[in-house]
Structure 1
Amino acid sequence: MESNKTNALAITSLVLGIIAIIIPLIGILIGIAALIFGIKSLNQLKVRSEKGKGIAIAGIVCGAGSPFIQLIFLLFIGVISFFNTPQ
């Protein structure tokens, strides 16, 4: 029998993953937390009859992708500031 309850760690993982993408620099640490919560929630979902597998996977993807997105953003800002410096 499947419960209608969604796993709280899965929701936490997704929220932290989204915040990790938005907040620069500190977002890398928040992304690590999103990964940990996402992996823990997937392990809980194997034991419990709760929903949230897709949410947990989305949190893991956002948490793992946030350093790369921030790196691209910082490189973009660096290139713009390099070419806009007065000569």
Structure 2
Amino acid sequence: MTGFQVGKIEKNNTKAVVSLVVGIIALLFIVFVWIGMILGLLGMILGVIALLETKKTAQKGKYIAIAGVVCNLLAIILPIIIIFVIFNIYMNPSVT
């Protein structure tokens, strides 16, 4: 088999993949407000680091890191919105 060259397999940035996985898990745990928010914060940090690494080293995984950041941002913001909505429902009962 002469002339056949094995190409390098470019791997995705590991932190980007971990950020996306943590973001998905954090979205599943938003019903447990603090767990989802803490996981979202950790995943957000990993996602930002992964974005910086992919930009600096031209490594694959930029869009995975962006998806991880978005999932983690939702996991941080959605519980806050849910808390405000529930708080307003209980503090302002409708007068019938």
**Per the shorter chain, which TM-score range?**
0.7 to 0.9
**CA deviation after TM superposition for structure 1 residue 75, in Å:** 6.8
How many percent of aligned residue pairs carry the same amino acid? 37
**Secondary structure of the structure 1 residue equivalent to 2:10:** coil
Q: For residues 52 and 81 of structure 2, what CA distance do their matches in structure 1 show? A: 32
1:69 maps to: 78
Q: For residues 33 and 18 of structure 1, what CA distance do their matches in structure 2 show? A: 12
- The one-letter code of the counterpart of 2:13 is N
**Secondary structure of the structure 2 residue equivalent to 1:17:** helix
Structure-to-structure mapping, 1:7-46, within 5 angstroms: 7-23=13-29, 24=32, 25-46=34-55
Contact 1:9 1:37 in 2 (8 A): yes
Contact 1:31 1:66 in 2 (8 A): yes
Sort the Cα spacing of 1:44 and 1:3 in 2 relative to 1 into closer, same or farther, 3 A.
farther
Pairs aligned (count): 81
Contact 1:3 1:49 in 2 (8 A): no
TM-score calculated relative to the size of structure 1: 0.74
Contact 2:41 2:76 in 1 (8 A): no
| Structure 1 unaligned regions, length at least 5 | 80-87
Contact 1:32 1:63 in 2 (8 A): yes
The structure with the largest alpha-carbon Rg is: 2
**CA deviation after TM superposition for structure 1 residue 28, in Å:** 0.2
Higher helix share: 1
| Structure 2 unaligned regions, length at least 5 | 1-7, 90-96
